[in-house]
Structure formats: structure tokens, C-alpha cells
Amino acid sequence: MALDRPQLQEKILEALEASSKINVDTDSSSDNANQANKARKDTAEALAKAIEAFVKSGTVTTKVTTTGSASAQTGTGTGSIS
């Protein structure tokens, strides 16, 4: 299964829109710095979650081959990324 790119794009847009809605009191330099820092941290957290979900939306296909006796096993498998 392919990675879910549209969902990643949607989550990135949501994170950016949320960060642009934070009000900053420009008359207070400490409030300005605190709010800007909070906006960056909140955006980073939202992006990290979106990227993690994106990576986990893929499927990994494996192929296992061994050498040796006739009882050596060969196989394939699929699974999710955890």
C-alpha cells in the first residue's frame, strides 16, 4: 500500500493554519517571545505527529531467503511500520 500523501498534506496545512491563529501582544516583548516560541513548538509537535502517521501509513514487504539444507526456509511477508 502506498503512503498516504494527501493525509500528510492535510495535516501540515492544519498545523500551519493553527500556528497562524495564535495572538501575540506586540506591546510586550516577553509575551511576543513566549507566544512565538509556543507557536513554533505547537507547529513542530503537529508536524512530527503528521510525519509519524505518514510513515506508519505505508506497508513493508519483506523477502526472507536462507541458504543451507533442503529444510531451509524461504518466505515473504507484509506488515505495518510501528
Residue-range definition of the domain harbouring residue 45: 5-80
Q: Which three cell numbers stand for residue 33?
A: 517571545
More confident call, 69 vs 36: 36
Phi/psi of residue 77, each to 5°? -165, 165
68's torsion region: left (phi>0), alpha (psi -120 to 50) or beta?
left
More confident call, 25 vs 16: 16
The string over 31-65, giving b where at least 16 C-beta atoms fall within 10 Å of a residue's C-beta and e elsewhere, is eeeebeeebeeebeebbeebeeebeebeeeeeeee
pTM of the full predicted structure? 0.63
Query: Total domain count for the chain?
Result: 1
pLDDT at 76: 79
